[in-house]
A = this chain, B = another copy of it.
Amino acid sequence: MKLYSYFRSSAAYRVRIALSIKGIEYETESKALLKGEHLTADYRSLNPQALIPSLETENAVLSQSLAILEYLEERYPSPPLLPKHPLARAQVRSMALAIACDIHPLDNLRVLNHLREVAKFGDDQINDWYRHWISEGFKGLEVQAQRHSSDRRYCFGDSVSLADVLLVPQMFNARRFNTNLAPFPTLVAITSHLESLPSFAAARPEVQPDAA
């Protein structure tokens, strides 16, 4: 199994966490986003969306981090990243998607580059934009975590789930851009616990082979 990754891509970080939790061995091929290494014709032939990550497995190349995570869950069900009951699974997926759809895509490198180009955003405006969508998204997520977390160690119940896999990389980005986290004590507490787990620690950007 090969993961096309970049140490600071938060979508790749999600997949690294899941691979680590499930104890799956894999090799890493780095694509440096800042150098545009994901935009070559070769990489596009593997992943037509030209985004990171991709996972090469079973003679196929899979794209979109959430599709990869669901694949890993189906193919390597233990330990599980989704609860058993459909309603509970929907609550976990809702929290994961709040990040995957309504925070992260708005703060993607290609979007920031586009804002610099068409809206002539400078660094301050980029940083405000970045933090704005994290704060907006975390507002709802904080309430969901308060409702569904058993004891502020995991987003849902008392075990790890896809929501946790998405939260930690998003919180990494939130800190990197100095987002005010005071309104989100539950999310901060959960992240702090998750980051203490070896499976999450192994997936951190700074310990990846391609870390700058």
Contact = CB atoms under 8 A, between A and B. Distances in A.
Interface residues of A, number: 55
A110 B103 CA distance: 12
A102 B71 contact: no
A101 interface: yes
Given A71-B89, A94-B67, A105 B101 contact: yes
Contacts of A102: 49, 51, 105, 108
A91 B132 CA distance: 32
Contacts of A47: 140
B48 A97 contact: no
Contacts of A108: 102
Report the copy number of this chain in the oligomer.
2
A58 B88 CA distance: 11
Contacts of A136: 110
Among A64, A86, A101, max chain B CB count under 10 A is at: A101
Given A60-B87, A89-B74, A93-B70, A119 B115 contact: yes
A207 interface: no
Nearest to A114: B132
In the A-B complex, the 4 residue pairs with the closest CB atoms: A49-B140, A48-B143, A67-B93, A48-B140
6 contacts: A47-B140, A48-B147, A51-B140, A67-B94, A71-B86, A118-B129
Given A49-B140, A67-B97, 14 more contacts: A47-B140, A48-B144, A48-B147, A49-B98, A49-B144, A50-B140, A66-B101, A67-B93, A70-B93, A71-B87, A75-B86, A97-B100, A105-B105, A114-B132
Interface of A: 44, 47-51, 58, 60, 62-64, 66-68, 70-71, 74-75, 86-87, 89-91, 93-94, 96-98, 100-102, 104-106, 108, 110-111, 114-115, 118-119, 121, 125, 128-129, 132, 136-137, 139-144, 147
